[in-house]
Structure 1
């Protein structure tokens, strides 16, 4: 139900923001019998659906197809060639996928009876909100804040959607550039570097930290960097971008490498992927007695309920500081938790350690739980087993390297973390989510048989070795 004006002044729950965290909270609350008003100033689905997760993964799938043509020709003797990439056709397919998902979310909300109000919202008190064009609303149960985030940018360098772009507009810039300078080696930067390389661009990837995806296990970073370099991406870690300059036909910047040497890089496009910042402007948090921290996050007073210091006001998604992950699937879980809390239904807190993290580049990375360094820093005595994917037959078939790394408590204790690099590992991590989330021990996993030949065998073999029953791992 989509309305622009209503005389109804009360409801059970007001949700401000219709991204993944907001609409999941609205759907679950409505399913539990609550009267829900959802305020969204743009389109339901948020950044993930319209500018992030869905369109970017659609484009990365197209990139996989392009890479497959090269592999067919160079490795398998299939004499295929790539005539060209029809950019308008590719974009049309991407946009159709986004459109159908958007219509699906709208239909789900309407079927659930959620009142979707188009317009910006601001708080008017601990239970009240004013929605532009619709008036004032009072929530009997509570308010859910789910206003999301926007990309961070470089001081003095304004994105123009053509030469300087952010992750929100990179996919919507005109055409395919012949060269790209990517600033930021987190998941977003790595994915966009991978996509543009698949599409034939010369790519330079600059990361200030000493390794890519610095929040992941160090071995994940090493394998990922090796895979990207093998594909021809110029990876610069421990590097700084100096004096970026916008030209008529692109950008120019000096890059200071880790050892201090400086070289000039010119590219048709500069893609800034240095993180995201919470959006709270116009929300009038002060009207409800709330304020953000120095980084702009709205930290809950009760993480088990994601409830702020003001009872009845909850927060989900990118407004949350760590340990929340800023991931769409984490915000789904947060939305469910908050809705059930408002409905008085018992709900387990979100276990962020058991939420998978995935980078959809080529090669992909996927992980759940603690890295080896994190586990040791927390005082665990650990055992570690690492196995290359090429140690199993299906890994040889793919021929793209990769690895499985498992971190456990010493002497057969519970599994603390699982880390994967390689083809299709985004589809393999769900098993490990259960292993970590249910505090399984290696002997528990080793009892279960993995199908042969698959990449998942490498996960199974790793646990067999832990349990003293190894077959193919030396």
Structure 2
């Protein structure tokens, strides 16, 4: 980190240097504002050190392992022997260290004052860090999130969270994953590729329950084909552990045994005992309540990232951090709704989506006001080359723009950029159909779906 602050008063004082906090800091100094950035851990927060980057490194290792297993199909003489977790961790930690070094250098080069230590909000314009008070004309709360557990479910021993899962030095033979959302499914995907016998337990009726129903069905079929087992629709009751592993019991009496259990039931806001409520900030179950412009209603205090109700995504944090810096500078930035922020589940296959699901669109607009169009990746040349199945689904308002894009297949997350533009710019299928998509690419699948929607299908 940079040297501890010499100055004690700033235009913006930011509590937390994760995705939202450091994005706000970088944009603020670009706008000529002085910035104090308080962080008790490492610059970059959860995403860089315990989330996005290390988990995606593991997912890439899993992809390489799967490629080695299937190499013969492509005429490559190779064999898969085993996973060397020492080497895997060295690779993962090297990526993290490189990104951390780059971020630290960037923060320092921009003249941002980094204040090392545990910060606590003490008034509408002051933060105390290890006994020293710092003042900000504006305060930005960006303290991030932590791995949640269930009431009465203690973490320890063979019951772990993603924090411990990222530090494992060996591959278990079997694992139970409690939670079938993004985190749970990503680890399930990694571990199955590593040779682990995986079972997911999800209380809701399906895996990835926030995605479009068509995508969910395709995803569950793909997981079954890979050999990943899952039990949905029944709540977890208890877990016991001994020298042989863990036994999880559901409310219906079913039991599952494995070497360990990963608790992946979501992330909670890291706001406890930080002085927010005492300063008058409105809270709800630990989350900071703001208006649409991310202001808390108290003094000049703003909040960004995982502590604000809604999607807990690093790129949402980046967007909100930039937004708040520009808001404070008087630039009046455009509000971006969570609905129009892209989501990706980086499993095999990947899910990428933005905008309304078919169900949500019909609930908002009416059953007869929503149209959908699907394009099967079987018709896409590049998808056939890399050996993936899947589909692209577009949701549009009748006689109106595309309001939702939902995709599943290997590497489909790379297509979310155009999908996000389509939805946010309220493009009509006829608009997208005019665009030229390079051949052969998976990106063509978006164009093909739009062509079909516009009444002129090519490869479907």
Which runs of 5 or more structure 1 residues have no equivalent in the other structure?
A: none
Per-residue deviation, 1:84: 2.0
Question: Match for residue 419 of structure 2?
Answer: 432
Per-residue deviation, 1:255: 4.0
Question: Match for residue 406 of structure 1?
Answer: 394
Quick one: distance in 1 between partners of 2:322 and 2:244?
Answer: 47
Select which of 357, 361, 373 maps to 1:371: 357
Per-residue deviation, 1:346: 2.6
Give the 5 Å matches for 1:186-335. Answer: 186-255=181-250, 262-293=253-284, 295-300=285-290, 302-303=291-292, 305-322=293-310, 325-335=311-321
- Total equivalences in the alignment: 458
Quick one: distance in 1 between partners of 2:393 and 2:375?
Answer: 6
- SS of alignment partner, residue 2 of structure 1: coil
Quick one: distance in 1 between partners of 2:318 and 2:126?
Answer: 24
- SS of alignment partner, residue 403 of structure 2: strand
User: Is the counterpart of residue 136 in structure 1 residue 133 in structure 2?
Assistant: yes
Quick one: distance in 2 between partners of 1:363 and 1:274?
Answer: 21
Per-residue deviation, 1:272: 0.4
- The answer as to whether partners of 2:18 and 2:142 remain within 8 angstroms in 1 is yes
- SS of alignment partner, residue 189 of structure 1: helix
Select which of 138, 147, 152 maps to 1:151: 147
Per-residue deviation, 1:285: 1.3
CA deviation map 1:317-349 (0-9, x unaligned)? 011012xx1100011000000011112223111
- The answer as to whether partners of 2:86 and 2:169 remain within 8 angstroms in 1 is no
Per-residue deviation, 1:5: 5.8
- The answer as to whether partners of 1:17 and 1:40 remain within 8 angstroms in 2 is yes
- The answer as to whether partners of 1:290 and 1:310 remain within 8 angstroms in 2 is yes
Per-residue deviation, 1:449: 1.4
Question: Match for residue 84 of structure 1?
Answer: 82
Question: Match for residue 391 of structure 1?
Answer: 379
What CA RMSD, in Å, does the superposition of the two structures yield over aligned residues? 1.5
Per-residue deviation, 1:391: 1.8
- TM-score, normalised with respect to structure 2: 0.97
CA deviation map 1:412-470 (0-9, x unaligned)? x1001000000110101111100001010000000011112222222111111111111
- TM-score, normalised with respect to structure 1: 0.94
- The answer as to whether partners of 2:4 and 2:113 remain within 8 angstroms in 1 is no
Select which of 344, 361, 369 maps to 2:330: 344
- SS of alignment partner, residue 93 of structure 2: helix
Quick one: distance in 2 between partners of 1:76 and 1:139?
Answer: 60
Deviates more, 1:430-439 or 1:262-271: 262-271
- The answer as to whether partners of 2:430 and 2:454 remain within 8 angstroms in 1 is yes
Question: Match for residue 3 of structure 1?
Answer: 3
CA deviation map 1:64-90 (0-9, x unaligned)? 0001112223x3343421122221111
Give the 5 Å matches for 1:45-64. Answer: 45-64=44-63
Quick one: distance in 2 between partners of 1:120 and 1:155?
Answer: 27
- The answer as to whether partners of 1:163 and 1:249 remain within 8 angstroms in 2 is no
CA deviation map 1:369-409 (0-9, x unaligned)? 11000101112511101121112222222333111000001
- SS of alignment partner, residue 107 of structure 1: helix
Question: Match for residue 126 of structure 1?
Answer: 124
CA deviation map 1:178-236 (0-9, x unaligned)? 11100101111000000000000000011111111111101111111111110000121
Select which of 461, 468, 471 maps to 2:448: 461
Deviates more, 1:464-473 or 1:162-171: 162-171
- The answer as to whether partners of 1:209 and 1:239 remain within 8 angstroms in 2 is yes
Quick one: distance in 2 between partners of 1:321 and 1:222?
Answer: 28
- The answer as to whether partners of 1:21 and 1:332 remain within 8 angstroms in 2 is yes
- SS of alignment partner, residue 157 of structure 1: coil
Question: Match for residue 177 of structure 1?
Answer: 172
- SS of alignment partner, residue 189 of structure 2: helix
- SS of alignment partner, residue 462 of structure 1: helix
Cα distance change, pair 155–249 in 1 and its aligned pair in 2 (3 A) = farther
Task: List, as ranges, runs of 4+ consecutive aligned residues in structure 1 with deviation greater than 6 Å.
Answer: none
User: Is the counterpart of residue 97 in structure 1 residue 99 in structure 2?
Assistant: no
Quick one: distance in 1 between partners of 2:177 and 2:360?
Answer: 28
Per-residue deviation, 1:244: 0.8
Per-residue deviation, 1:16: 0.1
CA deviation map 1:235-281 (0-9, x unaligned)? 2111333321111232111246xxx5x44311111000001111112
Which runs of 5 or more structure 2 residues have no equivalent in the other structure?
A: none
Per-residue deviation, 1:95: 0.3
- SS of alignment partner, residue 236 of structure 2: strand
Quick one: distance in 1 between partners of 2:383 and 2:95?
Answer: 31
Select which of 328, 331, 341 maps to 1:355: 341
Quick one: distance in 1 between partners of 2:236 and 2:66?
Answer: 29
Quick one: distance in 1 between partners of 2:274 and 2:256?
Answer: 41
